[in-house]
Structure 1
Amino acid sequence: MKVETFFFKPTAAVPNSKLPVLIYRDIISGSPKEFEAKLRANGWVPDWYSNMGLYPKHHFHSDAHELIGFTSGAQSGVLGGAGGMEVSLKEGDVVVLPAGVAHLGLAVSEDLRAVGAYPMGFGVHDFRLCDEAEFSAALESVLRVPLPPMDPFYGVTGPLPKLWSKPPV
């Protein structure tokens, strides 16, 4: 299993995070229902379904970490806010975004299907469109979001708890 990690520094409008964005490549196998069952078993609750994938405006969530799984199709997007890093995501891939990390959806294939999930007990209530005037309040909220206890696929022994337990300073 390969998990890619990417770090994004704060900008004037986006807190981003000291925690890395995680991209699990080709992690989804079997049916979407089996994928969702695995998430639930590891404390990540599927919350939304979309043929849009990453929302088509730069935004972030200050009150929850977010997982987006691609059960079919492909999409390109930008992580980290304006001037961030372009990524390509395809069927079988999952991106886990720490609270505060901006993301933007670009090109979408016609057959795209995505599932969004959050750690148990959390969901997005705070959808921010990267407004510099909101930075301080958003950062305060981001810093209060607890680390999830389990990796969405491998539980307590998976890469997420290890990679997020000691982020760089």
Structure 2
Amino acid sequence: MSVETYYLKGNGRVPNSRLPLLIYRGAVRVGPAELEDQMRRNAWPPEWHSSFGMYPRHHFHSDAHELIAITRGTMIGLFGGHDGVRATVTAGDVVVIPAGVGHFGESITDDLRLTGAFPAGYAIHDFRLGYPDEYARMVDRAQRVPIPAHDPLYGAKGPLVEIWSNALSRNN
């Protein structure tokens, strides 16, 4: 398993984050039920399932970090807004999207299956499409979402906790 990190700067519409987008490559080596149990143990309870991919328009959530696990098939996503990073993710990959980071589903395979989650106590209450007049307020709001105490797959000592804590230390 490897973890890719992508630092995405705000663009006047999408706040993005001081925390990097994380893509865990080949991280899921168990079936969907076992994965969900693992996520629950690490305080990232599964919230949704989809065979349609990510929402097909640039959007972000200012009030929660989000996890998307690819349990079957392949998806191409654009992260960070129109000028962001395009990534192909496939079965076994997990994407962790910091609050404020834009994401958009470009294409999927017919067999796609996703599981989505948020840190315990969080959920999407704020679905934003990136209007310029709300940009400054959304940057501030997304920056106030705390780093979770547990990595969704590896617990308190997992890569998310270390990578995100180090990112905040460098940016403060």
Question: 1:1-169 to 2 correspondence within 5 Å?
Answer: 1-167=1-167, 168-169=170-171
Q: How big is the shift at 1:139?
A: 1.5
RMSD: 0.8
| Structure 2 residue runs without a partner (length 5+) | none
Q: Residues of 2 paired with 1:85 and 1:160: CA distance? A: 19
Aligned partner letter, 1:138? M
Aligned partner letter, 2:84? G
Q: Does the 8 Å contact 1:53/1:68 carry over to 2?
A: no
Q: How big is the shift at 1:76?
A: 0.5
Query: Across the two proteins, how many residue pairs are aligned to each other?
Result: 169
Aligned partner letter, 1:163? I
Aligned partner letter, 2:113? R
Q: Residues of 2 paired with 1:45 and 1:137: CA distance? A: 28
Three-state SS of the structure 2 residue aligned to 1:40 is helix
**Percent of counterpart pairs with the same letter?**
48
Aligned partner letter, 2:20? P
Q: How big is the shift at 1:64?
A: 0.2
Q: Residues of 1 paired with 2:143 and 2:166: CA distance? A: 15
Q: How big is the shift at 1:141?
A: 1.3
Three-state SS of the structure 2 residue aligned to 1:57 is coil
Q: Residues of 1 paired with 2:70 and 2:156: CA distance? A: 23
The structure whose residues are more often strand, as a share, is: 1
Deviates more, 1:87-96 or 1:139-148: 139-148
Three-state SS of the structure 2 residue aligned to 1:36 is helix
TM-score, with length taken from structure 1: 0.97
| Structure 1 residue runs without a partner (length 5+) | none
Q: Residues of 1 paired with 2:79 and 2:136: CA distance? A: 20
Q: Residues of 2 paired with 1:119 and 1:53: CA distance? A: 20
Three-state SS of the structure 2 residue aligned to 1:18 is coil
Q: How big is the shift at 1:130?
A: 1.1
Q: How big is the shift at 1:53?
A: 2.0
Q: Which 4+ runs in 1 deviate beyond 2 A?
A: none
Q: Residues of 1 paired with 2:43 and 2:17: CA distance? A: 22
Q: Residues of 2 paired with 1:9 and 1:61: CA distance? A: 15
Q: Residues of 1 paired with 2:48 and 2:131: CA distance? A: 25
